[in-house]
Amino acid sequence: MKHKIEKRILVMFKSYMENQGKVFYNKSVKVCIIYFNNRGYRMFVSKLYIKNFRSIKKLKISFRSGKNVLVVKNNAGKSNIVKALNLVLGEKNPVYSRQINEKDFFSCSKDGQVVSEKAFFVAAKLQGKDINKTIFQNVNGLWLATFKNSNPLESFFEGNNSKSYEILMGNFQNIKNREYYKDKNQLFNMFNNADELYIYFCAVKDDEQKRNMDYYQKNIQ
- Contact between 117 and 107 under an 8 Å Cβ cutoff? The reply is yes
Tell me: pLDDT of 36 over 70: no
Residue 148 belongs to a domain: no
- Contact between 134 and 191 under an 8 Å Cβ cutoff? The reply is no
Q: What DSSP line would sit under 22-82, residue for residue?
A: EEEE-TTSSEEEEEE--TT---EEEEEEEEEETTEEEEEEE--SEEEEEE--TTSSHHHHH
Residue 141 belongs to a domain: no
Closest residue by Cα to residue 151 from 219, 221, 200, 80: 200
Residue 41 belongs to a domain: yes
| Backbone phi, psi, residue 52, to 5° | 60, 30
Residue 21's pLDDT is what?
38
Q: What is the mean pLDDT of residues 17-36?
A: 41
Residue 24 belongs to a domain: yes
pTM of this prediction? Answer: 0.71
Residue 63 belongs to a domain: yes
3-state secondary structure of 101: coil
- What digits encode the pLDDT tens for the residues 153-175? 777 788 765 566 666 665 566 66
Residue 100 belongs to a domain: yes
d(CA 141, CA 112): 51
Residue 191 belongs to a domain: no
Range in 37-41, 47-51, 88-92 with the lowest mean pLDDT = 37-41
Instruction: Provide the number of structural domains found in the chain.
Output: 1
**Residue 81: domain span:** 3-131+198-219
Residue 48's pLDDT is what?
93
Residue 138 belongs to a domain: no
d(CA 172, CA 166): 7
